[in-house]
Amino acid sequence: MALPGLFGGVFDAWGCGGACNPLTVEGMAHAVFLWHMHQPYYVNPASRTAVMPWVRLHAVKGYLDMVAIIEEFPRIRVNFNMTPVLLLQIKELAEGSVHDLWMDWSRKPAAALDEHERLSILENFFKINWDNMVKPFPRYWELLNKRGFTFEREEARRGMRYWSAQEFLDLQTWFNLAWCGYTADAMFPELVELKNKGRNFTEEEKLRVLEIHGAILRKIIPLYRDAETRGQAEITTTPFYHPILPLVYDSNFAERCMPGRHFPRRFHWPQDAAAHLSLAVEQHKEMFGRAPRGLWPSEGSVAPELVPLLKNAGIQYFCSDEEVLFRSLARDPETHGSNPDHLELFRGWEVEHAGVSVNAVFREKPLSDFIGFMAAKNKPEDAANHLLHHLRNIANALPGNKGVIPLILDGENAWETFPDGGQAFLRALYKGVLAEPLLKNTTIEAYLKEEPPERKSRALHSGSWISSNFDIWIGEDEENRAWNLLGDTREFLQRQMDGGKLAPEVQKAALQEIYAAEGSDWFWWYGPDFSTENDALFDDLFRQHLKNVYNLCGQLPPAALEEPITAMRVAPLYSRPEHPVTRTLSGRRSSYFDWMGAGCYIAGSEQGAMYRSGRMLKRFYFGNDSKSLYLRLDLERWEGTSVRIEFHGQNPCVVSLPKLEPTGQGSYTWTGPDGASSEYEGLAAKDVVELEIPLSKLRLNGDKTVRFQVKVFEGGLERECYPERVPVEFELTRREYALENWMV
């Protein structure tokens, strides 16, 4: 039976409807979790300084929490994918062989901070999830409000005279204290005491927090090693510096999945691709006492030519995404032209190329994405039950009492979006999986031993887990320029090596710089796909790795490496209304002029370190006239979808659209600040959803500010919230505004 391709009750196609009796079904599935942990190489080898703190900060939160919580469930089995470049940095920081720049800013007495350090602290020490890691702590929230929700360096410089040494000391302490997760709090109760104290910290208390960070860093690798030794975890690896390995092997592979695009000059270094694998295996054996059996290729990126490299490195299996599998089956001569049964996903595969084969499993996308992006928006028990419901239905549909459901996702960034760091959700999920008769929890290695693959793929698709192509990392102007600079530097180094001009230790160090620059993370932030406050710093790090190659070889780096690749861009999350908007609601996507001058938010504007696919809302428009606020929602899909528009401020209220159907005119539910609800006729839905909300209901007039967020629900669970961090905020437009901003 084919599995429908869209998420949202899709697994009920098998008829369980959430009420399957486990005593009457015959299905059985191995439920496997692979939690992927990764950070790029932030260390400049020339100065031995980590210029960003994310390895240390994720260690005291996600890395510690994830390995500690499985000790509460001795029968749970998980895969942890820890990238070699992450493990290297944990080791270097734990040993003290590199400096942590942000730790240096934190450790210095607040009264002795110079102007540059104070500015750096004001700029960087609020780079944390505000809702869950700042707002719950009144003093930290107070300091953020004092600094402001945006950072302008010159404005901050002028305002520094209003900051006391105690305020800087509290900020130094809170940034490092707030990152400490629930396991750190349990291991070191003094952290809880400091969080309860809240303000007026001493230098000694601050330094104690930093000492605890160091103590946790030293525990991380032994804790994961112990988890594997006692059989609770299988630790897999990734190519060393997290490169998009197919593009390192041959950047022309991108043409296979992105035909017609403009690409950089060919980058073709198969020996570098092999080196990333051999270095990963070598370090893994050193740290964990045995070679890795499994590989999560960086971003799930694969190409058939990699299969012999994996085999030579001793890799027994790799993981990628379900779209890669289905595109592979579409290319395979044995299955070409047929629609593959979606149940093919829930099995192990043998993948062959050039007479060599390795095993593979492919990521179940919707449920994996649910954990990473949606679970935090709902009650922990509801989110866990939602997953368990679908896991049961998949297990019930699998033939022959066997199969695997691979849940593969980021194991670090997601937990910042949970109010409790994901503790309650993970407990409910693990407990539910262990209690479910239809599920057998295991590791990927154990599953493949128990059920060796019976099917073979001979036409592996070239692509990644993101849209099944390499678009994030190549094909845009900034990305192509970075590839060309990397290629120029790699060719320069090869000429030096071929000429016998380099001592062995210099050659080794220069190659490490090349491998670091081949990492995917630099290319993630180039181009328009993703942006962060640290774009310029990532750009500097990438070019510094290339400059280090020339410096190691005793040559002056070319001037091109001094020029930033990243364009100076501060893309707003949304555009604000430029003119009054008056609408007669039709629900039709009609003339361009209907919403001209309105504000607009495009879903995905806040994309950062985590990629998200399959959004339900594409965009929304907003504007007003003298009487009403108008909203237009452009949805990707309607079935089973409901929407809440939450207005913030002194008179918070909610507009609810409980069931969206493209049926014409309709109504919405209005809930005021007092909790009283009423129906209001002001909705039209055909191609789009249009709403009219009287300003009198918002209790606003022309000099007031509107603040709101749009939340999308499916099956009673919150799926999306836009914007994610802070609401849309705009001043109501007036008739005079149209004259002041008149245009032809």
How far apart CA 421 and CA 409 sit, in angstroms, is 16
Angle CA 242–246–247, to nearest 5: 85
Q: Would you say residue 739 has pLDDT above 90?
A: no
- Highest CATH level, class, for 574-740: mainly beta
Q: What is the residue-wise DSSP string for 444-456? A: HHHHHHHS---EE
Q: How confident is the model at residue 572 (pLDDT cuts 50, 70, 90)?
A: low
- Decide: 331 and 353 in contact? Cβ < 8 Å: no
Residue 236 CB coordination number (10 Å): 25
The closest of 12, 10, 30, 31 to 20, measured between CA atoms, is 12
Are the C-beta atoms of residues 569 and 539 closer than 8 Å to each other?
no
Cβ-contact 200, 142 below 8 angstroms = no
Highest averaged pLDDT of the listed ranges 22-36, 212-226, 396-410, 552-566: 212-226
Arithmetic mean of pLDDT, 657-680 = 83
- The one-letter code for the residue type at 97 is S
- Between these two residues, 625 and 354, which has the higher pLDDT value? 354
At residue 283 the predicted structure's pLDDT band, cuts being 50, 70 and 90, is very high
Distance, in Å, from the CA atom of 280 to the CA atom of 589, rounded to the nearest integer, reads 53
Quote the DSSP letter at residue 568. -
User: What pLDDT is stored for residue 740 in this prediction?
Assistant: 34
In sequence order, the β-bridge partners of residue 49 are: 44, 99
Q: How confident is the model at residue 15 (pLDDT cuts 50, 70, 90)?
A: very low
Tell me if residue 74 falls in helix, strand or coil. Answer: coil
Average pLDDT over residues 5-25: 32
CA 457 to chain centre: 30
Cβ contacts of 338 within 8 Å, gap of 6 or more: none
pLDDT tens for residues 477-502?
A: 999 999 999 999 999 999 999 999 89
Domain 1-38+238-257+264-465 has CATH 3.20.110.20: yes
Question: Tokens 């691709």 correspond to what residue?
Answer: 273
Structure tokens at 703: 């000099």
Q: Which of 166-175, 240-249, 436-445, 591-600 has the lowest mean pLDDT?
A: 591-600
* CATH superfamily entry for domain 477-562: Families 57/38 glycoside transferase, middle domain (1.20.1430.10)
Domain boundaries, given as residue ranges, for the chain = 1-38+238-257+264-465, 94-224, 477-562, 574-740
**Using one digit for the tens of pLDDT, what is the confidence trace for 462-474?**
999 989 999 999 9
Phi first, then psi: give them for residue 740, nearest 5 degrees. -65, -25
| pLDDT tops 60 at residue 610 | no
The answer to whether 522 and 40 have CB atoms below 8 angstroms apart is: yes
Owner of token pair 């999306």: 720
How many helices and strands, by DSSP H and E, does the chain display?
27, 25
Q: What pLDDT score does 350 carry? A: 98
Mean pLDDT of the chain: 88
Burial class of residue 316 in the structure, from the number of CB atoms within 10 Å of its CB (0-12 exposed, 13-18 middle, 19+ buried): middle
Give me the mean pLDDT over the 616-622 stretch.
Answer: 87
Give the three-class secondary structure for 268: coil
| Triad 272, 484, 49: Cα angle to 5° | 65
Q: What is the pLDDT of residues 425-456, one digit of tens each?
A: 999 999 999 999 999 999 999 999 999 999 99
Structure tokens at 244: 């998009």
Which among 644, 657, 706 is positioned nearest to 684, based on CA atoms?
Answer: 657
**Angle, CA 494 vertex, CA 489 and CA 497 arms, to 5°:** 130
User: Regarding predicted confidence, which is higher, 605 or 635?
Assistant: 635
Separation between Cα atoms, residue 352 and residue 53, nearest integer Å = 41
pLDDT for 227 equals 98
So what's the pLDDT on residue 538? 86
d(CA 656, CA 292): 51
Do 1-38+238-257+264-465 and 477-562 share a fold? Answer: no
pLDDT tier at 22, thresholds 50, 70, 90: very low
Query: Residue 337: left if φ>0, alpha if ψ -120 to 50, beta else—which one?
Result: left
pLDDT in tens, 184-223: 999 999 999 999 999 999 999 999 999 999 999 999 999 9
Looking at residue 530, its pLDDT comes to 64
Q: Picking from 298-312, 313-327, 407-421, 665-679, which range would have the lowest pLDDT averaged per residue?
A: 665-679
- Per DSSP bridges, beta strands 653-657 and 99-100 are unpaired
